[in-house]
Amino acid sequence: MKTRQLGANGPVVSAVGLGCMGLSAGYGPAPTREEGVAFLRAAVERGVTLFDTAEVYGPYVNEELVGEALEPVRDRVVIATKFGALGGRDSRPDRIRQVAEESLRRLRTDRIDVLYQHRVDPDVPIEDVAGTVKELIEEGKVLHFGLSEAAASTIRRAHAVQPVAAVQSEYSIWARDVEAEVLPACAELGIGLVPWSPLGQGFLTGQVSTSGQFGENDFRPGFPRFTSEALAANQPVVDLVRGIAERRDATAAQVALAWLLAKDPAIVPIPGTKKLHRLEENLAAAEVVLTAEDVAEIDERSAAIEVVGGRANGHESFD
């Protein structure tokens, strides 16, 4: 597996990481604990070194799963987790410290490699948040600071207090909002970008039915882009990706990921899956080389497609 560095001062990780949320919640029935542990260890065996979780996933049980699975290989992996989404956006300094201690316990580790603020708290100055994480870094409990779904101005303010290693935002061929301000700010400041839902919550793979029918415990039907009307209207995006995939002898998922990898060397997508063959498919995207013409075609044609439906609730950036 190829590696990349998350920004100027962040950790070196696999070019494609793993979003772990779906192993516990969100996308239909979760695997058993034993199956989840085996899956995560299989990911390590295949070269994945960046694992993304959060206290709110489950809640709590995803961190526990990740902790159990990765404890035997702790020094070989980078674990990222988050505070500031459970029960609101509470990022008061005392709460950050409480969450960090509880996450350390659930993750069975003595340090958190990347600690993200999950969502910006409008009631707590970002300088206070960054200052608290800075203290945790000085204490050795956290190694790197991250922000999730933060606006460029917020990133700059936080970075002035404690260097930000990574910013996590939704970014994919059908969600390109970060290109206007966030991506340029990250490039300027030497910050890595970690796209979540790089496959459009499965839509870009072409495997999502346009009927809008999903299984039990799948939260996508509640999102504006996953109504049957929006899915049908957004099919041109899937057609675009499929066309490039056929030319490159790759899958749609691999093209969607390869496009992100081609955008900037400090971008590390974290697609999530519960299936080993999908994991292997996603990891192989690191070997798919898109030409400059391919990237330009995807850029231009996707920009001309008006995506129907807003991004999922609660994922908007806040200053």
pLDDT by residue (tens digit) across 32-67? 999 999 999 999 999 999 999 999 999 999 999 999
Number of structural domains in the chain: 1
User: What's phi and psi for 231, nearest 5 deg?
Assistant: -60, -45
In a domain, 98, yes or no: yes
In a domain, 199, yes or no: yes
In a domain, 91, yes or no: yes
What is the rounded average pLDDT for all residues in the chain?
Answer: 95
DSSP helix/strand/coil, 38: helix
In a domain, 214, yes or no: no
Residues annotated as catalytic are: 57
Confidence band of 317 (pLDDT split at 50, 70, 90): low
Which whole number is the average pLDDT over 280-303?
97
Strand order in the sheet with 112-117: 18-19, 50-52, 78-83, 112-117, 142-148, 164-170, 192-196
Kindly report the CA angle at 242 between 208 and 293, in degrees rounded to 5?
140
In a domain, 28, yes or no: yes
In a domain, 215, yes or no: no
**Bond preceding residue 221 cis, omega within 30 of 0:** no
In a domain, 244, yes or no: no
Confidence band of 319 (pLDDT split at 50, 70, 90): low
**Residue range of the domain that includes 100:** 3-203+265-289
In a domain, 175, yes or no: yes
pLDDT digits (tens, 9 = 90+) for 192-210: 999 999 999 999 999 888 8
CATH number, domain containing residue 128: 3.20.20.100
